[in-house]
């Protein structure tokens, strides 16, 4: 079934808010959406800040970060409770308690990492462009569709509900 942008955004919002309960009930750790963040450099650090602003409202939290450069991993700990810090994205994707990932790596790596994230069963937000090689983008798309995952490709500010 084709999915237009409005339907996708509604579905994404529903997935993120799906764990939200009544205001009178305290949400526990099992209801929190655990996010892994792959690529926490300059572009990714802004995504981390955005997620930190919606943490309480959507009961979502970055619990693991991944970047090849140690300086970026250490800087990422400045947002909220310090997340687990991993050097390799494969290790992050193997974490069973991470529900979804944010992908903010260099452009050439978006599609290959998105494909592997889908194969690991993770919903995802992936920075634009989805990929530089059409075959890789199609492989990532196919992996997402085969598992019926929620994925959004785009720029962070155009995806914020406050805009």
Q: How far apart are CA 81 and CA 42, in angstroms?
A: 20
How much is the pLDDT for 70? 85
Coil, strand or helix at 33: strand
- CB neighbour list of residue 48: distance below 8 Å, 6 or more residues apart: 37, 40, 62, 65, 76, 79, 102
Q: Are 63 and 34 in contact (CB under 8 A)?
A: yes
Can you give the pLDDT of all 163 residues of the chain as single tens digits? 566 655 655 565 555 554 344 344 445 556 788 999 999 888 777 777 777 777 777 788 888 888 899 888 888 776 556 788 889 999 999 999 999 999 999 999 999 999 999 999 999 999 999 999 999 999 999 999 999 999 999 865 665 666 5
Output the CA angle 116-119-121, nearest 5 degrees: 115
Torsion of CA 26, 59, 69, 89, to 10 degrees: 100
All structural domains of the chain: 32-159 (3.40.50.720)
């Amino acid at each position: 079934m084709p999915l237009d942008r409005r339907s996708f955004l509604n579905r994404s919002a529903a997935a993120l808010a799906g764990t939200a309960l009544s205001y009178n009930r305290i949400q526990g750790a099992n209801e929190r959406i655990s996010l892994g963040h792959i690529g926490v450099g300059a572009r990714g650090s802004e995504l981390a800040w955005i997620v930190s602003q919606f943490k309480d409202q959507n009961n979502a939290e970055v619990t693991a970060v991944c970047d090849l450069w140690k300086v970026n991993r250490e800087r990422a700990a400045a947002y909220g409770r310090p997340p687990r810090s991993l050097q390799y994205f494969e290790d992050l994707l193997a974490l069973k308690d991470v529900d979804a990932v944010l992908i903010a790596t260099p452009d050439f790596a978006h599609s290959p990492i998105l494909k592997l994230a889908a194969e690991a069963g993770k919903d995802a937000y992936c920075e634009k462009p989805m990929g530089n090689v059409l075959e890789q983008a199609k492989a990532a798309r196919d992996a997402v569709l085969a598992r019926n995952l929620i994925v959004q490709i785009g720029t962070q500010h155009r995806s914020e509900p406050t805009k």
